[in-house]
């Protein structure tokens, strides 16, 4: 009897030990050799404004080297062409309309799940440095937050801007934060620049760009004012490039480069008319470069479609974690191993209120773009910061003189056509709208159907009411209307009534 009892106790003990061993083995499987992950986000940088993407004159040696050492994606897109909605979409893996933070400056609600806390719970050290623009409710998802504010300003405890931090690039804390990381944990860093966001200042880099360096898309007039504005924009990209180089050098110094994945992107396109806040490629197409020596072939190019909504599920996959049911994106990690692989055939993008009211949607394949303008009575006014530089002022003056061509007039036209269709292979600047061309009616119907399906599946619908403009569309001056934070419907209707008097 005692012998049998002793054997039973031993058997139970062995089972418990075995169970514990298996559990530890599984835990080790999750944490062993997991990659460090760094997401670098430029602020308002066009996809092709670097040497890596073929620009002949912009000084971006470090971004160019990043592409030489890794994989360059040539068909990468954002879900929004506006700063904070783009960022909240990236961190939640949700389309902007499902984040409850789809309009500019609306903070991400605390009940939204992000990929960051999942990494943190699994043993990653998580840190942010630079521009935040996500709201305060999710700062606790990171172990460390170094927030420089929206445009490179320190914030008071009440959230007010005080003084500019460092040189205004927003990147000054990147290396200090990287040096603070624990040595015994994998790490995730969210490194967000303010460059090349407006306003621009003089003398921020040695050997600044000159007017002859500027390469203008055809929807801009070629004037001295426009070229000066672009040259300042280029200078901020070069300053950002210097910090990208510092991050790579620090990883090398720490001896962790081989197992560190760096993903470099922008949050939306350049802050110029017909780019930022539009759903043309100048607004939603993004640089997308992955460097990961252990896994990604150097000097490789991937032409498959990827979307910023794919980042969240991919980062969890790379960390050996299960994706979340809430995520609406696709894991793009198979593309890192095989450039012939395909994870999606179409991307979906949104334009909501950003300084000015708008509601526009787009779908894009590798060959065609379909845009639907729901508020056709509103012109495609650029974001208010475009009024700061010389480009839009120059365009307004030339418009008065009747000296703008059709492409350059696009941001002034009202009413807009409800539908736009572009052959992006043969018309990369999206200048010839094929929506009314009978020869392309089949493609128009096909993409219209795709958009309707995505809208239905993701529960995307028109708002119950419109939001007033915050700035005047002709002068860029503030209307003294600040809709922060998200107002209730009743509050919004009161504001609308007051604005209409």
User: Per-residue pLDDT tens for 160-182?
Assistant: 444 455 788 999 999 999 999 99
244-287 confidence digits (pLDDT tens): 999 999 999 999 999 999 999 999 999 999 999 999 999 999 99
Local structure of 287: helix, strand or coil = coil
Asked if pLDDT for residue 381 goes beyond 90, the answer is yes
Residue 495: per-residue pLDDT: 66
**For residue 419, is it within any domain?**
no
- Rounded (10°) angle between helices 61-69 and 224-254: 50
Measured from the Cβ of residue 250, the count of other Cβ atoms closer than 10 Å reads 16
Domain contains 329: yes
Find the farthest-apart pair of alpha carbons in the chain and give their distance in angstroms, rounded. 107
Domain count, the chain: 2
Q: How confident is the model at residue 156 (pLDDT cuts 50, 70, 90)?
A: very low
Name the most confidently modeled range: 3-7, 416-420, 463-467. 416-420
**pLDDT tens-digit readout, 463-480:** 988 888 999 999 999 986
Q: Among the three residues 294, 327, 349, which one is the final residue of a domain in this structure?
A: 349
**Band of pLDDT at residue 346, cut at 50, 70 and 90:** very high
- 149/243: higher pLDDT: 243
Same domain, 345 and 469: no
Last residue of a domain, one of 349, 365, 394: 349
pLDDT-based confidence at 152, cuts 50/70/90? low
Q: What is the DSSP string of 243-274?
A: HHHHHHHHHHHHT-STTEEEEEEESSS-SSTT
pLDDT surpassing 70 at residue 28: no
pLDDT greater than 50 at residue 417: yes
Domain boundaries, position 488: 464-501
Model pTM above 0.85: yes
| Element of type H or E holding 71 | strand 71-77
Q: Which residues of 119-144 are buried (b: 16+ CB within 10 A; e: fewer)?
A: bbebebbbbbbbbbbbbeebeebbbe
Q: Is residue 336 domain-shared with residue 482, that is, in the same domain? A: no
344 lies in the same domain as 492: no
What are 347's strand-pairing partners? 364
- Provide, rounded to the nearest whole percent, the portion of the chain with pLDDT above 70: 87
Residue 17 to residue 265: CA distance in whole angstroms? 47
Residue closest to 191 by CA, chosen among 292, 323, 87 = 87
Instruction: Identify the domain boundary among 349, 369, 393.
Output: 349
| DSSP collapsed to 3 states, 94-155 | CCHHHCCCCCCCCCCCCCCCCHHHHHHHCCCEEEEEECCCCCCCCHHHCCEEEECCCCCEEE
Residue 191 contacts residue 130 (beta carbons within 8 Å): yes
34-78 pLDDT, tens digit per residue, is 999 999 999 999 999 999 999 999 999 999 999 999 999 999 999
pLDDT at 233 over 70: yes
């Amino acid at each position: 009897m005692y012998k049998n009892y002793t054997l039973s106790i031993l058997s139970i003990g062995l089972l418990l030990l075995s169970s514990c061993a298996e559990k530890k083995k599984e835990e080790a499987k999750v944490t062993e050799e997991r990659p460090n992950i760094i997401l670098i986000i430029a602020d308002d940088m066009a996809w092709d404004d670097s040497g890596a993407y073929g620009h002949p004159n912009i000084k971006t040696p470090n971004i160019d080297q990043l592409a030489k050492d890794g994989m360059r994606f040539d068909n990468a897109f954002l879900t929004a062409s506006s700063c904070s909605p783009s960022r909240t979409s990236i961190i939640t893996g949700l389309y902007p309309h499902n984040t409850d933070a789809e309009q500019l400056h609306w903070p991400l609600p605390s009940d939204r799940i992000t990929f960051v806390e999942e990494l943190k719970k699994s043993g990653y050290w998580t840190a942010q440095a630079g521009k935040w623009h996500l709201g305060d409710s999710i700062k606790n998802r990171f172990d460390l937050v170094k927030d420089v504010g929206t445009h490179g300003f320190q914030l008071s405890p009440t959230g007010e801007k005080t003084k500019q931090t460092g040189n205004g690039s927003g990147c000054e804390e990147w290396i200090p934060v990287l040096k603070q990381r624990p040595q015994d944990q994998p790490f995730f860093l969210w490194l967000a620049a303010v460059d090349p966001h407006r306003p621009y200042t003089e003398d921020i880099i040695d050997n600044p760009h000159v007017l002859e360096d500027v390469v203008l898309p055809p929807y801009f007039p070629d004037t001295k004012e426009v070229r000066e504005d672009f040259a300042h924009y280029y200078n901020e990209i070069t300053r950002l490039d210097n910090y990208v180089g510092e991050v790579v050098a620090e990883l090398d110094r720490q001896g962790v480069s081989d197992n560190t994945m760096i993903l470099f992107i922008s949050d939306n396109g350049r802050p110029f008319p017909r780019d930022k806040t539009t759903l043309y490629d100048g607004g939603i197409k993004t640089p997308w470069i992955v460097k990961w020596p252990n896994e990604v072939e150097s000097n490789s190019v991937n032409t498959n479609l990827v979307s910023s909504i794919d980042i969240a599920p991919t980062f969890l996959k790379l960390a050996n974690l299960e994706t979340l049911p809430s995520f609406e994106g696709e894991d793009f990690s198979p593309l890192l191993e095989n450039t012939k692989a395909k994870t999606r055939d179409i991307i979906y993008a949104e334009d909501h209120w950003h300084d000015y009211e708008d509601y526009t949607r787009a779908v894009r394949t590798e060959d065609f773009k379909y845009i639907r303008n729901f508020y056709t009575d509103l012109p495609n006014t650029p974001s208010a910061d475009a009024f700061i530089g010389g480009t839009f002022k120059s365009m307004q003056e030339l418009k008065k003189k009747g000296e703008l061509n059709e492409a350059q007039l696009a941001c002034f036209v009202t009413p807009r056509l409800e539908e736009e269709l572009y052959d992006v292979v043969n018309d990369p600047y999206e200048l010839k709208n094929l929506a009314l061309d009978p020869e392309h009616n089949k493609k128009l119907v096909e993409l219209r159907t795709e958009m309707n399906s995505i809208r239905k599946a993701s529960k995307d619908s028109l708002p119950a009411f419109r939001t007033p403009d915050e700035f005047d569309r002709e002068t860029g001056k503030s209307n003294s209307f600040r809709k922060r934070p998200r107002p209730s419907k009743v509050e919004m209707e009161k504001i609308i009534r007051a604005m209409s008097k």
